[in-house]
Chain A
Amino acid sequence: MKQLMKHRMMKTAALVILGVAMAGGSAVAADKWDGGDDLPTSPLACDAGPAAAAAAKPYDGGQTTGAPDKAGKPITLVDVPKLIGIGYFNATSKGMQDAAKEIGNVKVTTDGPTEAKIDEQIKFIDNYITRGVDGILFAANDPVAIAPVLKKALSKGIDVVGYDANSQPDARQWFINQAQFNGIAKAMVDAMAKEAGEDKGFAIVTSTFTTPNQARWIAEMSAYAAKCHPKLKWLETVEAQEDNVLSFNQATTLINKYGDKLSGLFGMTSVATPASAEAVTKAGQCGKLAVVGLATPNAMKPYVNAGCVKSVVLWNPVDLGYAATYVIRAVVDGKLKPGATSVEAGKLGKLNVVNGSEILLGSPFIFTKDNIKDFDF
Chain B
Amino acid sequence: MRMAVLAPEVRSAAPRWLIRHETLLAAILVVALAILGLFNERFLTIDNLLNQGRLMTEVGLLALPMTFIIITGGIDLSVGSIVGLCAIMLGYSWKNLGFPLPLAIAFAIGVGGVAGFVNGLLITRVRVPPLIMTIATLALYRGLAEGISQARSVRNYPEWFFFTGQGEWLGVPVQLWILLVGIIMAGIALDRTTFGRTLYAIGNNETAARFSGLPVDRVKLVVYTLSGLAAGLSAWVLVSRVTTTRSDMGSGYELDVIAAVVLGGTSIFGGVGTIWGTVVGLVMIQLLKNGLALTGVKGDATIIVIGAVLIASTLIASSLHGRREVAG
Contact = CB atoms under 8 A, between A and B. Distances in A.
Interface of A: 7, 10-11, 14, 18, 20-22, 24-26, 28, 84-85, 109, 111-115, 117-119, 122-124, 126-128, 130-132, 142, 144-145, 147-148, 208-210, 239
Nearest to B218: A3
A21 B148 contact: yes
Interface in B92-150: 92-93, 96-97, 111, 114, 117-118, 121, 144, 147-150
Given A18-B148, A118-B242, A144-B244, A131 B300 contact: no
Contacts, number: 98
Given A24-B96, A26-B150, A7 B121 contact: yes
Given A112-B299, A131-B293, A119 B96 contact: no
Contact of A132 (B42, B55, B117, B121): B42
Given A10-B117, A117-B251, A130-B48, 18 more contacts: A11-B118, A14-B111, A14-B114, A22-B147, A24-B96, A24-B97, A84-B300, A111-B299, A115-B252, A117-B248, A123-B55, A124-B293, A127-B294, A130-B51, A148-B242, A208-B151, A209-B151, A239-B151
Contact of B42 (A26, A114, A130): A130
B153 A210 contact: yes
Given A84-B299, A119-B238, A142 B153 contact: yes
A84 B117 CA distance: 38
Contact of B299 (A28, A113, A208): A113
19 contacts: A18-B148, A20-B97, A21-B93, A22-B147, A25-B92, A26-B150, A85-B300, A111-B298, A113-B299, A114-B300, A122-B242, A127-B293, A127-B294, A130-B290, A131-B294, A145-B244, A147-B243, A210-B246, A239-B151
B40 interface: yes
B152 interface: yes
Contacts of A122: 242
Nearest to A119: B242
Interface of B: 40, 42, 47-48, 51, 55, 89, 92-93, 96-97, 111, 114, 117-118, 121, 144, 147-153, 155, 166, 238, 242-244, 246, 248-249, 251-252, 290, 293-294, 296, 298-300, 303
- Residue in B47, B111, B153, B243 with the greatest tally of chain A CB atoms within 10 Å: B153
B97 A118 contact: no
A126 to B, nearest CB: 7
A259 B144 CA distance: 31
Nearest to B303: A114
- Residue in A28, A109, A115, A210 with the greatest tally of chain B CB atoms within 10 Å: A210
A148 B161 CA distance: 14
A17 to B, nearest CB: 8
A122 B152 CA distance: 20
Given A131-B40, A144-B243, A148-B243, A22 B148 contact: yes
Contacts of A22: 147-148
Nearest to B221: A7
